[in-house]
């Protein structure tokens, strides 16, 4: 389990006793959960309830939800299908903590408004982006991945604006019904983008990847966002790209990374 008191510095993940006796770490990202994709939700429920039982910790590296418009959706008084779904997912994730499995959540480009109330409801600890850790003797840098897509300056400008605390406060001051409607429009737009395919413009750039490796003094990187799962051998080290989850289409996809004393492996759901 990571010591969250030392966020911002390198942290170590070593279980008591020899490292080869430690339980593995699981990494996932880009599930884009919503009530509109029941097969993907069912796969996530199975992952939390069954697959994760083998893990010491589960790391979600962004875009857990298709959109998140504020932690007030967790208020039981909010009678909305999307709010009920959010509460159900938070309750599901809290079962990890109840079983002694640590849960860490990093913001993505869709759910950067996940706040303290959500983390408490889900039994999760927030991860900064990027985050450097040592696991089983290997220094690893974790990221969502969107900050590495520097060939898209328009998005990078939006990203800086969306992470601005003042901009977030202004958005959260809107009525919840209006924020949910905005989120719904975002979902419809993203569905159209998935049909059109993913442009190379939205992939990470070599320069940004190199700079992150060098800045964090690491030789292993794990990130998501691009929906292009692969293991890349870069000049500075190995870069693992997590798969997105989409099981409500004709060709379902998804998976996770397992990190243990034997190394890093990409596994199917």
Residue 1 DSSP one-character state: -
Q: Which tokens is 8 given?
A: 């911002």
Q: Is residue 143 part of a domain?
A: yes
Residue 202 binned pLDDT confidence (cut-offs 50, 70, 90): confident
**How does DSSP assign 54-103, residue by residue?**
G-SEEEEES--BS----GGGG-TT---HHHHHHHHHHHHHHHHHHTT-EE
Measure the CA–CA gap between 152 and 155, rounded to whole angstroms. 6
- pLDDT tens digits along 71-115: 999 999 999 999 999 999 999 999 999 999 999 999 999 999 999
Measure the CA–CA gap between 117 and 187, rounded to whole angstroms. 23
**How does DSSP assign 172-207, residue by residue?**
HTS-HHHHHHHHHHHHHHHHHHHHH---GGGSPPHH
Q: Is residue 160 part of a domain?
A: yes
Predicted confidence at residue 12, as pLDDT, reads 54
Q: Is residue 8 part of a domain?
A: no
Predicted confidence at residue 27, as pLDDT, reads 98
| 6 pLDDT higher than 50 | no
Residues with Cβ within 8 Å of 11's Cβ and at least 6 positions away in sequence, in order, are 2, 3, 132, 133, 134
Q: Is residue 29 part of a domain?
A: yes
- pLDDT tens digits along 120-137: 999 999 999 999 999 999
Domain extent, residue 94, equals 17-259
Predicted confidence at residue 31, as pLDDT, reads 98
Q: Is residue 56 part of a domain?
A: yes
User: 25-28 and 57-61 as β-strands: parallel, antiparallel, unpaired?
Assistant: parallel
Q: How many domains does the chain have?
A: 1
CATH code of 238's domain = 3.60.21.10
Q: Is residue 12 part of a domain?
A: no
- Which residues face 132 on adjacent strands? 141
Residue 188 binned pLDDT confidence (cut-offs 50, 70, 90): confident
Q: Is residue 239 part of a domain?
A: yes
> Model pTM?
0.91
Q: Is residue 9 part of a domain?
A: no
């Amino acid at each position: 389990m990571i010591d969250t008191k030392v966020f911002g510095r390198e942290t170590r993940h070593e279980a008591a006793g020899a490292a080869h006796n430690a339980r593995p770490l699981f990494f996932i990202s880009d599930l884009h959960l919503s009530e509109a994709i029941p097969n993907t939700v069912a796969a996530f429920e199975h992952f939390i309830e069954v697959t994760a039982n083998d893990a010491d910790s589960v790391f979600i590296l962004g875009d857990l939800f298709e959109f998140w418009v504020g932690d007030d959706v967790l208020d039981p008084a909010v009678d909305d299908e999307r709010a009920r779904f959010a509460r159900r997912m938070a309750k599901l994730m809290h079962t990890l903590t109840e079983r002694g499995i640590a849960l860490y959540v990093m913001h993505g480009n869709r759910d950067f408004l996940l706040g303290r109330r959500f983390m408490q409801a889900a039994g999760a600890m927030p991860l900064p982006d990027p985050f450097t850790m040592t696991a089983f003797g290997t220094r690893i840098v974790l990221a969502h991945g969107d900050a590495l897509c520097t060939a898209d300056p328009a998005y990078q400008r939006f990203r800086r604006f969306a992470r601005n605390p003042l901009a977030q406060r202004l958005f959260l001051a809107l009525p919840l019904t209006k924020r949910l409607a905005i989120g719904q429009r975002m979902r419809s737009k993203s569905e159209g983008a998935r049909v059109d395919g993913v442009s190379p413009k939205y992939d990470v750039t070599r320069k940004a990847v190199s700079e992150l490796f060098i800045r964090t003094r690491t030789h292993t990187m794990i990130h998501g966002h691009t929906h292009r799962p692969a293991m890349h051998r870069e000049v500075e080290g190995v870069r693992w790209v997590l798969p997105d989850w989409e099981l409500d289409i004709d060709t379902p996809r998804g998976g996770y990374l397992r990190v243990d004393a034997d190394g890093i492996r990409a596994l199917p759901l």
